[in-house]
Amino acid sequence: MTITLRTFGKAAAIAASALAIFGFSSAAHAQASRGVFTIISDGSSTVYPITEAAAGGYQASMGGRVRVTVGESGTGGGFRKFCRGETDVQNASRPITASEMAACATSGVQYVEVPIAFDALSVVVNPANPLKEISLADLRKIWQPQAQGRLTNWKQLGPNYPDLPLTLYGPGTASGTFDYFTEAVVGVAKSSRTDYTPSEDDNILVQGVAGDKGALGYFGMAYYEQNKTKVRALAVNAGQGPVYPTADAVKAGKYVPLARPVFIYVNVASLKKKPVADFVTHYLTNASTYVTKTGYVPLPANAYAVYQQRVTKREAGTAFGGKADIGASIEEVLGRKLVKTVQQ
Amino acid sequence: MSAAEAPPAARETFTAPENLERRKFADSTFVFWGLLATTIGLAVLASLVTGLFLRAQGKLTPEFFLSFPSPDAATAGILSAWVGSILVIVTTALIAIPLGVMAAIYLEEYAPKNPVTDVIEITVNNLAGVPSIVYGLLGLGLFVYQFKMGQTVLTAGLTLALLILPVIIVATREAVRGVPQGIREAALSVGATKWQTTSHHVLPYATPGVVTGVIIGLSRALGETAPLIVIGVPTFVAFLPFIGPGDVGMPVYDEAGNEHILTSGDMLASWMPFGDQGWLNQLFTVMPMQMFNWTGRPEAEFQQNAAAAGIVLLIITLLLNGTAIWLRYRMRKKIRW
């Protein structure tokens, strides 16, 4: 026997005792503690790039005095943590829901609601498809559950449409984009035909539409902007004439109902700490830069100023009353009264 | 002379076995299909690696390893991710290896053969097949909510250790079972205790097999994303758990939001594993989470970053496996039955 296991035994003994030690040490502390102040944000992966830009920009401007982390556990998953008071900033691709408001109220978490940008959903087809525009009514005909297995060729929609087999691509059912699109187009959130190719990764949807002549898909505008050579966006006609998904149309409030605001929610208790307040101020001051750089559409400048005031005054509550509110204009939202509890 | 004459006689009585042609054909058919299966596997791997290298071209620069993530794809790097991955994998190994090996030795050498042991054995085997996301839920409920440990290196290390524990236990038991019974009997017959027999003889002979199990387990832990997302590990982390000598004297905000000047004491504390400022209790991110984020970004440049990160992850895994294989080789050489 040439190997002794003495070293192994020692290592095992050390590891076992180490386990006991950090078992105790971690139980002794209520929260994992960090030497340097760390702002924790989590939530929607749609909003992630904007907050990532703000976090990086703020950290750099502070020369490392403060740390910011950004997670992407989804709007719903993020709100669960936010309403337990575990995160300082929540990224959300939709307004807070009634049940999330209740959860926050139960644990005493108050929040300032800040729409940070617009995300426009682009409806795209293959470049080989001659179609230029589509009406909201026809989009509904295509995506409603009753169309399942029946509406399978574009020409079934009318003589203006090409004779191509219709194949559909869209986000998976867990996505906030799916919720918004179904509510805006079909009329009921999560109500959609299911015979389409779903993917949580918008890049996959781009590839799908790019490789399929009769394809129709929808996803965030940032993905369309980056893939204009592979897919073509349709102008959507909601009764006010056809509108293409452009930054200008979204800013002017013309790309309804497929443009939606995306949000950050800031914990009021966290806002009382200087680094968090500084971070949110930095975020709002440079919002249009960060938003434009990441492919989203900024709010009008005056809106950011109003929200900055709300952050400074720590005005808590939501302007949406727990509802999704399709196609609301930011000016109108700005004028609304904030509510903290669910209106029954 | 009669012995010399015997073979021709035997040759005369020799008759070809039945179906020889058919059996030989079956033999070469199997070789053909086996070769084809191997080629398919290798070709897929080769094309994957080639594809990664082609897409990552020009990205694997020192800056890529030394930069933090950023929304600007050109300057974004993997510093926090690779440091985080290594810290987590070291923590996972330190927890999972001793626990797994000890549990396996107990089950194999000490545990009485009874229904309870059988149930434990079946359960451990089943746990090896439980999806990783379930361990994420366990980690979230136990370490984050119950023990309030936060989304730290330690939380992730413990969660991933639980994830790979069954793999290590199963592999160790197989290895221990493979040690010939005679070795145990010989040791016991000269008066060795059970622990002496195990630690001096059984375990050293079983170590190569144990190492194989550890490689499989750690490689799996290194590539995991799902349980870490469930725990709430952030993706964007633009700092390291360690305070460098250059940071001493820098003013920061402390946890309470008050101004604080970093001291050399803070630096030392950050390099220790334990304690409030120790690296085990810091926030972090890992390579696969950073990769996953980049693959989902709209800008094509991020796909290049993701490919480069993939190659780095592959290299870390290969280094890890290479070390383990080298260790196993050395240990096997030393074994004298």
CATH code, B226:
1.10.3720.10
- B203 and B94, same domain (yes or no): yes
To the nearest 10 degrees (0 to 180), the angle between helices B153-177 and B132-139 is 130
3-state per-residue secondary structure call for chain B? CHHHHHHHHHHHHCCCCCCHHHHHHHHHHHHHHHHHHHHHHHHHHHHHHHHHHHHHCCCCCHHHHHCCCCCCCCCCCCHHHHHHHHHHHHHHHHHHHHHHHHHHHHHHHHCCCCHHHHHHHHHHHHHCCCCHHHHHHHHHHHHHHHCCCCCEHHHHHHHHHHHHHHHHHHHHHHHHHCCCHHHHHHHHHCCCCHHHHHHHHHHHHHHHHHHHHHHHHHHHHHHCCHHHHHHCCCCEECCCCCCCHHHCCCEEECCCCCEEECCHHHHHHHHCCCCCCCHHHCECCCHHHHHHHHHCCCCHHHHHHHHHHHHHHHHHHHHHHHHHHHHHHHHHHHCCC
The H or E element containing residue A226 is: helix A221-226
Q: Does a structural domain hold residue B8?
A: no
Across A19-48, b (16+ Cβ under 10 Å) vs e yields: beebeebbeeeeebbbbbbbbbbbbbbbbb
My answer on whether A57 and A169 are in the same domain is no
DSSP state of A136: H
ipTM of this complex prediction, to 2 decimal places: 0.84
* Inter-chain touch A35–B276, beta carbons under 8 Å: yes
Residue B36 forms part of a structural domain: yes
Nearest-CA distance B250 → chain A (Å): 8
Which tokens is B28 given? Answer: 């070469």
Q: Do B277 and A65 touch (CB under 8 A)?
A: no
CA distance B26 to chain A (A): 43
Same domain as B256, residue B303: no
A37–B300 CB contact, under 8 Å: no
Q: How far apart are CA B150 and CA B172, in angstroms?
A: 32
Q: Which residue of A has its CA nearest to B196?
A: A5
Residues B127 and B234 both lie in one domain: yes
pLDDT classification of A280: cutoffs 50, 70, 90: very high
For residues B28 and B98, state if they share a domain: no
The answer to the question of residue B11 being in a domain is: no
> Which residue type occupies B199?
S
Same domain (yes/no): B95, B182? yes
Distance CA B331, CA B205 (A): 8
Residues B175 and B316 in one domain: yes
Strand-pair partners of A124: A217, A233
| pTM attached to this predicted model | 0.85
At B255, is the pLDDT very low, low, confident or very high (cuts 50, 70, 90)? confident
Confidence of residue B250 (pLDDT cuts 50, 70, 90): confident
Nearest-by-Cβ selection for B234 from A59, A65, A71: A71
Best CA proximity match to A143, nearest among A258, A244, A232: A258
The per-residue pLDDT for A5 is: 47
Examine the fold and report which residue of A222, A251, A280 is the final residue of a domain before the chain moves on: A251
Q: Which two tokens stand for residue A82?
A: 């936010």
Domain range enclosing B30:
20-56
Mean pLDDT of B287-303: 92
Q: In this predicted structure, what is the pLDDT of residue A4?
A: 46
Are residues B144 and B28 part of one domain? no
A246 with A264, same domain: the answer is: no
Beta strands in chain A (DSSP E): 38-43, 67-70, 89-92, 111-125, 133-135, 167-170, 197-198, 215-220, 232-233, 235-237, 242-243, 259-267
Among residues A324, A294, A327, which one has the least CA distance to residue A51?
A: A294
Residues B35 and B168 in one domain: no
Q: What is the DSSP secondary structure assignment for residue A234, as one 8-state letter?
A: P
Our count of domains for chain B comes to: 3
| Residue B70 distance to chain A (closest CA, Å) | 7
Percentage, residues of chain A above pLDDT 90? 68
In chain B, the N- to C-terminal Cα span, in Å, equals 44
- Tell me which chain A residues have a C-beta less than 8 angstroms from the C-beta of B299: 226, 295
- Please tell me the predicted confidence (pLDDT) of residue B265: 87
The reply to whether A30 falls in a domain is no
Q: Per the domain annotation, does B260 fall within a domain?
A: yes
> How many domains does one find in chain A?
2
Do A42 and A145 fall into the same domain?
Answer: no
Task: Please state, for a pLDDT cut of 70, what percent of chain A lies above it.
Answer: 89
Lowest mean pLDDT among A29-38, A116-125, A195-204, B139-148: A29-38
Q: From the list B232, B276, B299, which residue is nearest A81 (CB)?
A: B232
- Report which of residues B256 and B113 the model is more confident about: B113
Q: Give per-residue pLDDT as tens, B115-166.
A: 999 999 999 999 999 999 999 999 999 999 999 999 999 999 999 999 999 9
**Residue-level pLDDT at A33:** 42
Q: Calculate how close chain B gets to A241, using CA atoms only, in Å.
A: 29
Residue B275: the pLDDT is: 85
Residue with structure tokens 């294989």?
B325
Task: Identify the CA nearest to A74 among candidates A4, A180, A176.
Answer: A176
First to last CA, chain A: 78
Q: For residue A31, what pLDDT is reported?
A: 39
pLDDT 10s digits, B206-222: 998 899 899 889 999 99
Helices (H), A74-211: 74-82, 98-106, 136-143, 176-181, 202-210
Mutating which of A69, A81, A84, A201 best tests the B interface, going by the most B Cβ atoms within 10 A?
Answer: A69
As a whole number of angstroms, the distance between CA B136 and CA B134 comes to 5
CATH number at residue A226: 3.40.190.10
Take residue B315 and report the two structure tokens written for it. Answer: 């290299």
Question: Does residue A79 register a pLDDT over 60?
Answer: yes
For all residues of chain A together, what is the average pLDDT? 87
| pLDDT at position A320 over 80 | yes
Q: Considering only CB atoms, which chain A residues are within 8 Å of B254?
A: 35-37
| A224 shares a domain with A127 | yes
pLDDT at residue B11, as a whole number: 58
Q: Is residue A29 part of a domain?
A: no
Range of the domain at A313: 38-118+260-334
Across A96-122, average pLDDT: 94
| Residue B94 pLDDT | 96
The tokens of A245 are what? 């998904």
Inside any domain, residue B15: no
Nearest chain A residue to B234 by CA distance is A71
Per-chain mean pLDDT for chain B: 90
Q: Indicate whether B7 belongs to any domain.
A: no
Do A214 and A234 reside in the same domain of the chain? Answer: yes
Determine the pLDDT at residue B8: 54
- Paired sense of beta strands A89-92 and A38-43, if any: parallel
A18 confidence band (pLDDT: 50, 70, 90) = low
Per the domain annotation, does A223 fall within a domain?
yes
Q: Do B194 and B319 belong together in one domain?
A: yes
CA A130, distance to chain mean position in Å, is 32
Domain finish residue from A197, A224, A251: A251
Residue B13: inside a domain: no
Same domain, yes or no, for B127 and B42?
Answer: no
Residue A310 vs residue A175, higher pLDDT: A310
Given a contact cutoff of 8 angstroms between Cβ atoms, the answer to whether A119 and A93 are in contact is: yes
| Model pLDDT, residue B320 | 85
**Are residues B44 and B187 located together in one domain of the fold?**
no
pLDDT tens-place string over residues A135-146: 999 999 999 999
From A25, A49, A202, residue closest to B71, measured CB to CB:
A49
Q: Which chain B residue is nearest to residue A10, measuring alpha carbons?
A: B98
Same domain, B168 and B194: yes
- Are A234 and A246 in the same domain? yes
Residues 6+ apart with CB under 8 A from A298: A117, A118, A251, A287, A288, A291, A292, A304
CA distance A294 to A299: 14
Which of B183, B281, B293, B334 should we substitute to test contact with A (largest number of A Cβ atoms within 10 Å)? B281
A80 shares its domain with A57: yes
Cβ–Cβ under 8 Å, residues A43 and A78: yes
pLDDT at A212: 93
Q: How far is A263 from chain B (nearest CA, A)?
A: 18
* Residues A134 and A230 placed together within one structural domain of the fold: yes
> Considering only alpha carbons, which residue of chain A is nearest residue B298?
A223
Cα-based distances in Å from B144 to A164, B38, B66: 53, 44, 30
Indicate the DSSP class of residue A266. Answer: E
Q: Is residue B249 part of a domain?
A: yes
